[in-house]
Amino acid sequence: MSNQRDFTSARAKEALLPDKEDKCCGECCWFYAEDTYGFGCCPFKFADVRQCDQHCEAGVHFVSKKQMRHYMAVLLQANRYRRDQNVPAIYMMPRPTELGKAIDFAVKYMKIFSEL
């Protein structure tokens, strides 16, 4: 049994559950520029306008919005731990594997949206 405390919220824990097989474009964090009719763009499908309820064809790159929220929670927790000198015992540094995944995601997110 490990002595590490679980710092994730209930919403972030849902992100760790396996995703459904049907991956819609509207559920992906990469889906951007969505208008009021549900049409938007995917950075992995160049010059292709997608609708929110269409199935994702770039399944390898699919990251759900719930998973993105989990990565954000991990990065915020690490930042809070690093910046505060008098950290309460309930706040602990995230596991290195989770922190590494979150940093990789953040770098990939910045690269993709800086090139648009």
Tens digit of each residue's pLDDT (9 = 90 or more) over 83-108: 776 766 666 788 889 999 999 999 98
Q: State residue 98's pLDDT score.
A: 92
- Is the domain of 92 the same as that of 73? yes
Cα torsion angle, 107, 110, 114, 115, sign: positive
Amino acid at 90: I
Length of the chain equals 116
Is the whole model's pTM more than 0.85, yes or no? no
* Residue whose pair of structure tokens reads 């306008």 in the numeric block: 49
CA distance 4 to 18: 23
- Is the domain of 75 the same as that of 116? yes
- Is the domain of 40 the same as that of 54? yes
Domain limits at 44? 22-62
- Is the domain of 92 the same as that of 77? yes
Confirm whether 114 is domain-assigned. Answer: yes
DSSP bridge partners of 32: 41
Confirm whether 12 is domain-assigned. Answer: no
- Is the domain of 70 the same as that of 26? no
Number of domains into which the chain is organized: 2
- Is the domain of 84 the same as that of 113? yes
| DSSP state for residue 45 in the 8-state scheme | S
